[in-house]
Amino acid sequence: MRFVDEASIRVDAGKGGNGCLSFRREKYIELGGPDGGDGGDGGSVYFRGDEALNTLVDFRFQPQYRAGTGESGKGKDRTGSKGEDLIVRVPLGTSVYDEETDALIAEVTEADEDILIARGGFHGLGNVRYKSSTNRAPRKTSNGTPGESFNLRLELRLIADVGLLGLPNAGKSTLISVVSEAKPKIADYPFTTLVPNLGVVRIDYNRSFVIADVPGLIEGASEGAGLGIQFLKHLSRTRVLLHLVDVAPADGSDPLENFKTIEREVAQYSPAIAQKPRWLVLSKSDLVSGDVLAELQARLLSESSLVEKCYAISAVTQTGLQPLLHGLGDHFASLDEARKEAQENLDKAAGQDAHNYSKMLRDARLRRRQGQDDEEDLEPDDFDDGSDVVVHYEP
């Protein structure tokens, strides 16, 4: 299945039914008077969060959604039936934007919660509504009003408690496969992970959290290098970021420089995400001695004031995993209301950063397609939309 986290759709609520012009006509009853009923209200469009969904790919193949139209009124003072409401199921973490005004309409974060997106039209009035002492036989009715219509932009940002950061082959996929039931692709070459992966980590019978693994970043990712940097949007709702640093890189690079590279790329993408609580995780610790590990830890901690804690782990030998997992569980349990509120404000800012970045890429691609870009402003390989992988960021 393709993983798609952006889609454009149109929703149309139903039109209200028209009022009826009718008079009572029965044998032996003279001047029966008006009896035209009202129309029915138009159906509305609702979005409902569905835990079973994790991609917006269905909206690429069905981009139009329309609720039912209200039935017109009938004689004998009968009201038309209401138009059928349309419930559209979307993944949790979906943000809904008005494509024309770029305004945020709704955020779908709760399962089975119905959120009104487009309200159905109001019903028209039958002529019985206009009867009065001075107008015994009104011939006036009103038509139903149109329902609301919107061109929407859907942006999916996965909901997780913990996000994994790091270069390709830093051990992120191996870690999530060991601590959860997730089965990401694991290999000894870069960019094995092409789409985000979620896993549920259970510490004990009543404590668990969700961990998210995103494709690795490289230097220049914010300018389109590698798989780009768009996947960082899926870390915007996390409460803690685990920055995995390979203590023995296969290419012989300096772990400290690798650490700085990731921090720069994250800061360029979203200052809000860069301010999230950061824990340093030294992965593949079984490949170096204790003295080398201690020296590297001291160097890394001296370079960043954002790192709150540091752990050394080996996912292969499962060394150091339990202290890390229990530390995360204790951290989430200790959050007070003030910190939760601060976290929510940071999540909103990170979500806006992610939206602005996605919009910038869409606008750049649109200008490039229209031939309005100068060669100096936008190189042909800038803002790669990932057409050679299964994820697409297209308007």
pLDDT tens-digit map of 320-344: 899 999 999 988 888 888 888 888 8
Q: Are 242 and 262 in contact (CB under 8 A)?
A: no
Q: pLDDT-derived band of residue 194, with 50, 70 and 90 as boundaries?
A: confident
Express as a percent the part of the chain with pLDDT over 70: 91
Q: Reply yes or no on whether the pLDDT at 247 is more than 80.
A: yes
Quote the pLDDT of residue 151. 95
Phi, psi at residue 375, to the nearest 5°? -60, -30
Q: Reply yes or no on whether the pLDDT at 386 is more than 60.
A: no
Quote the pLDDT of residue 117. 95
- Distance in angstroms (rounded) separating the CA atoms of residues 44 and 283: 51
Q: pLDDT-derived band of residue 389, with 50, 70 and 90 as boundaries?
A: very low
Between 258 and 48, the more confident residue is 48
Quote the pLDDT of residue 372. 58
Quote the pLDDT of residue 152. 95
Quote the pLDDT of residue 340. 84
Quote the pLDDT of residue 359. 85
Cα 302 to Cα 164, 200, 228, 249, 298, distances in angstroms: 21, 32, 29, 20, 6
Phi, psi at residue 265, to the nearest 5°? -65, -40
Quote the pLDDT of residue 225. 66
Least confidently predicted of 90-104, 199-213, 381-395: 381-395
Q: Are 78 and 126 in contact (CB under 8 A)?
A: no
CA dihedral 162, 303, 345, 394 (to 10 degrees): -70
Mean pLDDT of the residues in the chain:
85
Q: Reply yes or no on whether the pLDDT at 238 is more than 80.
A: yes
Q: Reply yes or no on whether the pLDDT at 240 is more than 50.
A: yes
Q: pLDDT-derived band of residue 222, with 50, 70 and 90 as boundaries?
A: low
Quick one: average pLDDT of 293-321? Answer: 86
Between 384 and 288, the more confident residue is 288
At 10-44, the pLDDT tens digits run 999 999 999 999 998 888 877 788 999 999 999 99
Q: Are 115 and 108 in contact (CB under 8 A)?
A: yes
Quick one: average pLDDT of 285-312? Answer: 85
> How far is C-alpha 241 from the geometric centre of its chain's CA atoms?
18
Q: Which domains does the chain have, with CATH numbers?
A: 6-156 (2.70.210.12), 162-369 (3.40.50.300)
At 98-154, the pLDDT tens digits run 999 999 999 999 999 999 999 999 999 999 999 998 898 899 999 999 999 999 999
Quote the pLDDT of residue 126. 94
